Structure 1
């Protein structure tokens, strides 16, 4: 199993990163604020107006440390990395299966099954822990409905039907999402999913966390030699990493929604940590963004037993483990791709 390395998130506007020997130095207002050995890093993610020296870019590429650039609110812009060690035979098999509708459906349904099952777990935990604060009857009905959807997915072989099932399940889940917020109810109201741009504080949190997941999914797929742009559930579109979107589906509830809910319900983020632009878009300020990144990194370091591999690994390595299992399935070593199911 690959060793879990740190991700350095740089959010301070105007920060400048450079190389000193074998270390990465973060400078703010021409003063060195942080030094990290290159061998401890797996990736660097820069938000907004953050720049890097050419020597650092080359050094990171040489040491297999990717550098991603995001907008200040988390939209992916570009990535700098060294040569990708792709397995041409593995990628050829990936492309063959993508072009086969039945093979695509077999994989797509497992991605959706993982997502639906993990959404059901999120709802079940809230129903158990906060039964006095929610519409328990409606929550139980949705949980039972998700169980029926899971059983149906196991036998579905039409890709369009699978997408339809996923869309309806996601719609019902987000219809209930406001019930999962049990504190700061007046400040964090969720009326539905809004993306580009997010139009409320909850959507701002979700979009930002999903962007982090997208980055991690891409890195995991490239590490194992798969093409992150060619997906099974999400089809080809210029500029979109469809397989990264496929892989992150089963992790949206676990590392996206759950972190967002914890931040709100435990009071780790507050109303005044968000700003509304003239266009109506809601953005986090620097302190809130740092709080989100800190919680996301903490969650990734928590150990969990993988339900298929039966070994303890950090949460942050789960997406890499799933990328490896996807490779094993494509090579024919597994009869089915086993999605990650959170208990």
Structure 2
């Protein structure tokens, strides 16, 4: 018997999650809906969403993590109820980080995965990524591998720019300075959140990565994992939105030099990126 598939739920409207009559309910600015917990494996709050104690209880019982982002799409934090002991796994994970040879091997595999995913995506676009494929993704240190990663992204950005008809495409962050970069930054944040959730569900410590060093600022393991999947999920999505002209000027907002997605723009990107059921924050429809 096939198991019923569960999907991530994305909330793009400000509101509150609470428990009513043993059900999880979202109350937003424009709508109130009962959420089908049996179909949800994680929730991503891409707007200002608060949780009542009742909602925390029902989410804990269902084992559904909730991830929060700022309105500018930066990952903020998570509610995860996992009481399972993971000591041995976390010790092994730390051992592989502290052992230089083991860490280098894992970091190389991550960079190889990035290169393979980039090449696969470009081949689907009809591009022969000669320069990208020529990058040697081995190195004598993690720092050297980080340089290889940067070189891969430089080539990939150039190929991506050509694919969407933008000469000399430049990646801008914090803040994104044009519509294409606004879409990339937002989609990157979502993929980071999904990678974080996957690491936690696997019982791994998200703070211990291998290509990205342990940091006080961000969890490094999701950064490692997300980079492998960004070409497939982020750039394929953005290319489709640009080349098929699905985005309008009203799907973006400007604040000085910064460009961000509007609520409707976020909805369009999520729909294109995942093609999964998610909560429509404007219309209040579950699809």
* TM bin (shorter chain): 0.7 to 0.9
The aligned residue for residue 284 of structure 2 is none
Question: Would the alpha carbon gap of residues 30 and 281 (structure 1) be closer, same or farther in structure 2, given more than 3 Å must change?
Answer: closer
Q: Contact (CA 8 Å) 2:252, 2:261: kept in 1 or not?
A: yes
The aligned residue for residue 230 of structure 1 is 208
Deviations 1:236-270 (A, max 9, x none): 11131101111112101011111111122122222
- Displacement of 1:148: 2.7
Q: How does 1:1-343 map to 2 (within 5 A)?
A: 4-13=5-14, 15-29=15-29, 31-32=31-32, 34-126=33-125, 128=126, 140=128, 143-149=129-135, 152-153=136-137, 156-182=139-165, 191-278=169-256, 280-298=257-275
**Any stretches of 5+ residues in structure 1 without a counterpart?**
129-138, 302-343
In terms of mean alpha carbon deviation, does 95-104 or 35-44 score higher? 35-44
Q: Contact (CA 8 Å) 1:222, 1:228: kept in 2 or not?
A: yes
Deviations 1:259-301 (A, max 9, x none): 11112212222233111113x2111111111111112221799
Q: Contact (CA 8 Å) 2:131, 2:155: kept in 1 or not?
A: no
Question: Would the alpha carbon gap of residues 234 and 29 (structure 1) be closer, same or farther in structure 2, given more than 3 Å must change?
Answer: closer
Q: Contact (CA 8 Å) 2:182, 2:260: kept in 1 or not?
A: yes
**SS of the counterpart of 1:193?**
coil
Question: Would the alpha carbon gap of residues 76 and 90 (structure 1) be closer, same or farther in structure 2, given more than 3 Å must change?
Answer: same
CA distance in 2, matches of 1:31, 1:147: 49
**SS of the counterpart of 2:73?**
coil
Q: Contact (CA 8 Å) 2:253, 2:259: kept in 1 or not?
A: yes
CA distance in 2, matches of 1:84, 1:190: 49
**SS of the counterpart of 1:175?**
helix
Greater RCO (CA < 8 Å, at least 6 residues apart)? 2
CA distance in 1, matches of 2:270, 2:113: 25
- Displacement of 1:82: 1.0
Q: Contact (CA 8 Å) 2:172, 2:181: kept in 1 or not?
A: yes
Question: Would the alpha carbon gap of residues 56 and 106 (structure 1) be closer, same or farther in structure 2, given more than 3 Å must change?
Answer: same
- Displacement of 1:102: 1.4
Question: So what's the TM-score if we normalise by structure 2?
Answer: 0.88
CA distance in 1, matches of 2:46, 2:140: 41
Let me know the Cα RMSD of the aligned residues.
Answer: 2.4
Question: Would the alpha carbon gap of residues 299 and 50 (structure 1) be closer, same or farther in structure 2, given more than 3 Å must change?
Answer: closer
Deviations 1:133-192 (A, max 9, x none): xxxxxx64xx1232232xx33x5443222111111111122133211214xx6xxx8731
